[in-house]
A and B are shown apart, each in its own frame.
Chain A
Amino acid sequence: NAGVTQTPKFRILKIGQSMTLQCTQDMNHNYMYWYRQDPGMGLKLIYYSVGAGITDKGEVPNGYNVSRSTTEDFPLRLELAAPSQTSVYFCASYPGREVYGYTFGSGTRLTVV
């Protein structure tokens, strides 16, 4: 199993540009999450999904959008990139049962200039 796959690993965007961060999991997990990690801070939740067709906002959703058309895919969209969105982004999945942990992707390092 590949686990959680994130692409791209690195990206530099200009202010105002758009991009989609891809996240795919092959473990049939219902729950998927997008977090951002800023220097010296704990991970912050951007959006989450409890299953295909269902998404909800987390703590820091402004400037982002998500969709969940399938169980496997949970892309994160930045419509008008701003320097404040410079961060490392992590996608994670979770089966929904407390006996199992979370599985994280390898991260996307995004710089907005």
Chain B
Amino acid sequence: KNEVEQSPQNLTAQEGEFITINCSYSVGISALHWLQQHPGGGIVSLFMLSSGKKKHGRLIATINIQEKHSSLHITASHPRDSAVYICAVKMSGGGADGLTFGKGTHLIIQP
């Protein structure tokens, strides 16, 4: 069974700091997703990765397939980045049964 572990579970930082959230998984995957969920809000897809690195604005996502590890970085963090960040993976050879999710990292950026 695939396990998806995220660290840290909770992170509080000051505005402007560089943020790193980590995700590790235990089996082969075809894709890894990073999602964002604001308090009381819906879930938004940030990135889908199968290799390498992607960048969108101040967000950067990387994946190392050999080490079964991905990181989400936020540069010049801002209070509006405060949210839960969720890592989810699609297993290799898996059927149509969707994603396996981590428990999320609760990020608070203080002004």
A-facing mask of B57-74, CB < 8 A → 1, else 0? 000000000000000000
Query: When the two chains form their complex, are residues B42 and A50 in contact, meaning their CB atoms are under 8 A apart?
Result: no
- Rounded to whole angstroms, the CA-CA distance of A106 and B38 in the bound complex is 11
Which single member of B45, B47, B50, B88 contacts A103 (CB below 8 Å)?
Answer: B45
Please give 11 more A-B residue pairs, beta carbons under 8 A apart, in addition to A43-B88, A45-B98.
A31-B96, A42-B4, A42-B101, A42-B102, A43-B101, A44-B101, A58-B98, A102-B45, A106-B41, A107-B41, A107-B42
Query: When the two chains form their complex, are residues B98 and A42 in contact, meaning their CB atoms are under 8 A apart?
Result: no
- Rounded to whole angstroms, the CA-CA distance of A40 and B101 in the bound complex is 12
Residues of B within 8 A of A74 (CB): none
- Rounded to whole angstroms, the CA-CA distance of A107 and B98 in the bound complex is 17
Interface status of B44 (Cβ within 8 A of chain A)? yes
Number of A residues with CB within 8 Å of any CB on chain B = 27
Query: When the two chains form their complex, are residues A45 and B97 in contact, meaning their CB atoms are under 8 A apart?
Result: yes
Query: When the two chains form their complex, are residues B96 and A101 in contact, meaning their CB atoms are under 8 A apart?
Result: no
Q: How many A-B contacts if CB must be within 8 Å?
A: 63
Q: Which of A31, A43, A99, A106 has the most CB of B within 10 A?
A: A43
Known: A40-B103, A41-B103, A98-B50. A90 touches B98 (CB 8 A): no
Query: When the two chains form their complex, are residues A58 and B97 in contact, meaning their CB atoms are under 8 A apart?
Result: yes
Which single member of A41, A102, A103 contacts B99 (CB below 8 Å)?
Answer: A102
Residues of A within 8 A of B33 (CB): 101-102
Known: A31-B96, A98-B30, A98-B31. A104 touches B44 (CB 8 A): yes
Query: When the two chains form their complex, are residues B45 and A101 in contact, meaning their CB atoms are under 8 A apart?
Result: yes
Query: When the two chains form their complex, are residues A90 and B96 in contact, meaning their CB atoms are under 8 A apart?
Result: no
Q: List 12 A-B contacts (CB under 8 A).
A: A42-B86, A43-B99, A44-B101, A48-B97, A56-B96, A94-B98, A98-B50, A102-B33, A102-B99, A103-B45, A104-B45, A106-B42
